[in-house]
Structure 1
């Protein structure tokens, strides 16, 4: 298999959300004084694509109400900025950590913009989504997490598909104690990383966040944002099993992902379904590639699937009856580190880690 083309991510810059020309000029002047460039969005619609990845977000007073109405997910490092009379009461609703009233707060704001967020402390984030139902995305996500933990990487596996079978069952962890999603749905703001990791089901370097069996609730975007923020600082690798129909939490997770794998069976109808999924995923993640799973009843080749979807090929998987049998016995996929599934997981994780380090160097 030829090497994948290198994807060079655009640098993440602070995001300024304002449609006020005068205030924008002031903020651009302060950014220049801090020696940094910023991205500018006139409204929350334009801001959404960069919301999760910006190291800092400055919401100007004129966009406080529009951002509230847009229900943007809570995230850390948000500052509400304005002149005298800035709506302080909106800060808590927006999840802003600070309110900067200009011109008094100019020195503080320059200092904050001049202090970059350290991406080197962040985990590598890998999202997995099925091209159709039963594609095997959950098995691949579980195997990636197990493989990362076997390699000594502190790993968090996140179940973001409320209608999936449950990743605790996939790992054989249904009896392992720890918090599930319902206990985190009321999360607001930042979560202490060590406290979160200690509270979740875990074994060794692998930690799991999944759904409860007796309470099926959607994941609020705010809870996903807080969890990912904590995971970036408390883990080395985060693997997220996503639903095919994206809700706000899943879209937020995609925006935070360094890479997304689309799992597609080598079947014509599966490729047609996967094309629709790819169209919804691509706007949220710049690096999407395909994993083609056999068998191929019509002898459809992996490269033909890749070309049909217009996505690079990350790898292929042939049937492994031993994996299927092990899952029925409560054995985690790739737990023994052998076979095509484990081999693919090692290649993907090595590539992900190398790409993450390259992005840090570029930043």
Structure 2
């Protein structure tokens, strides 16, 4: 039998102090690793007890109890109270049904095969697990859409939201370059482009380049890849189920994959420099976007050499104004160094991203309430 290191048990137990968490009863480190991974993908932590003695005080109050196959007999012998929402789980051979009946377990799970079911079960404890998808594109070339998309994902992760950044522009050079992630291990679009059906959200997140709460799907520096719309739709759907925020950076000239992304987005941001020709070009892009996205707004990027106001640009484009992005000295230089946009959490870009994210989540809450 595996024994958990005492510091790990103590740290996991302390995480449950502020609010009730699902209780996991196991001393099997392989099983615990699987359960922690699934819980993290669902956006929660778990309270861990290595045996029935440690579990007794937390047994009745937990919203869900997952008992490892290694501790099923111990929990039965300890005569823990019968309760609802008990799951018996194990790796390898499925746990015995006799043990489940004695324990009063409602479900018997074999991992990793049943991880999708458990992901949804964990997610249901703290909401529906439905993330927000934000599409970003430029009103003209060089408008700064990729910078805004990256900054939105970075800001979401800094604020404690699980974020997925999706590079939807096959000729953009790879958004990972902006982050200095070229050497970070994980799958890129070439490995996902053949996807036609649904993706396992847990497996997808686990396979992607990641740092903290931010994961990314990007193009590599290989041959240009025509991205199938089915692959884009599958990645966004899995991201919506596994993350709080999905930000997708799209090309100005809409291909089939970009159209699929717009159709799946909760909101689209069109980035427009405060210049006359840029505004005229953005008006044409906005007409194409409006065919596929029900909710869109414009971000106006300064400076304005001709003194066009942000309100005037938004009116000409035909979308509501989401905000004004003022000039930020040193931003281009920091991006060239591989510093992620808005990584410091300060400045006009970070402030704009916080406002945009707050608005997207507020509108989502209003829609659910209605």
* TM-score normalised by the chain length of structure 1: 0.66
Alignment match of 1:190 (pick from 198, 217, 224): 198
Q: What do you get for the CA RMSD once the two structures are aligned?
A: 1.3
Q: Give the secondary-structure state (helix, strand or coil) at the position aligned to 2:343.
A: coil
Q: Deviations over 1:290-347 (max 9, x none)?
A: 1100111111111110111121110001111221111011100000000010000000
- In structure 1, the partner of 2:135 is 127
What's the offset of the Cα at 1:120?
3.3
- In structure 1, the partner of 2:367 is 359
What's the offset of the Cα at 1:215?
2.9
- In structure 1, the partner of 2:256 is 248
Q: Deviations over 1:172-205 (max 9, x none)?
A: 1111111000101111211100100011111010
Alignment match of 1:307 (pick from 309, 312, 315): 315
CA–CA distance in structure 1, aligned partners of residues 133 and 309 of structure 2: 29
Q: Give the secondary-structure state (helix, strand or coil) at the position aligned to 2:128.
A: helix
Alignment match of 1:267 (pick from 272, 275, 283): 275
2:155 pairs with 1:147: yes
Q: Is the 8 A contact 2:139 2:271 kept in 1?
A: yes
- In structure 2, the partner of 1:113 is none
What's the offset of the Cα at 1:165?
2.7
Alignment match of 1:344 (pick from 319, 341, 352): 352
2:181 pairs with 1:173: yes
Q: Is the 8 A contact 1:162 1:211 kept in 2?
A: yes
Q: Is the 8 A contact 1:182 1:215 kept in 2?
A: no
What's the offset of the Cα at 1:121?
2.4
Larger radius of gyration: 2
CA–CA distance in structure 2, aligned partners of residues 263 and 165 of structure 1: 19
Q: Is the 8 A contact 2:150 2:165 kept in 1?
A: yes
CA–CA distance in structure 1, aligned partners of residues 191 and 235 of structure 2: 12
Alignment match of 2:342 (pick from 334, 339, 346): 334
Return 138-147 or 303-312, whichever deviates more.
Answer: 303-312
What's the offset of the Cα at 1:356?
1.4
Q: Is the 8 A contact 2:161 2:213 kept in 1?
A: yes
Q: Mapping of 1:86-125 within 5 angstroms?
A: 120-125=128-133
Q: Give the secondary-structure state (helix, strand or coil) at the position aligned to 1:291.
A: strand
What's the offset of the Cα at 1:223?
0.6
What's the offset of the Cα at 1:128?
0.4
What's the offset of the Cα at 1:122?
1.3
Q: Is the 8 A contact 2:151 2:341 kept in 1?
A: yes
Q: Give the secondary-structure state (helix, strand or coil) at the position aligned to 2:304.
A: coil
Alignment match of 1:156 (pick from 164, 177, 180): 164
- In structure 1, the partner of 2:284 is 276
* TM-score normalised by the chain length of structure 2: 0.65
Q: Give the secondary-structure state (helix, strand or coil) at the position aligned to 2:268.
A: strand
Return 211-220 or 192-201, whichever deviates more.
Answer: 211-220
What's the offset of the Cα at 1:171?
1.2
CA–CA distance in structure 1, aligned partners of residues 223 and 251 of structure 2: 18
Q: Give the secondary-structure state (helix, strand or coil) at the position aligned to 2:345.
A: coil
- In structure 1, the partner of 2:329 is 321
Q: Deviations over 1:58-103 (max 9, x none)?
A: xxxxxxxxxxxxxxxxxxxxxxxxxxxxxxxxxxxxxxxxxxxxxx
CA–CA distance in structure 1, aligned partners of residues 227 and 344 of structure 2: 32
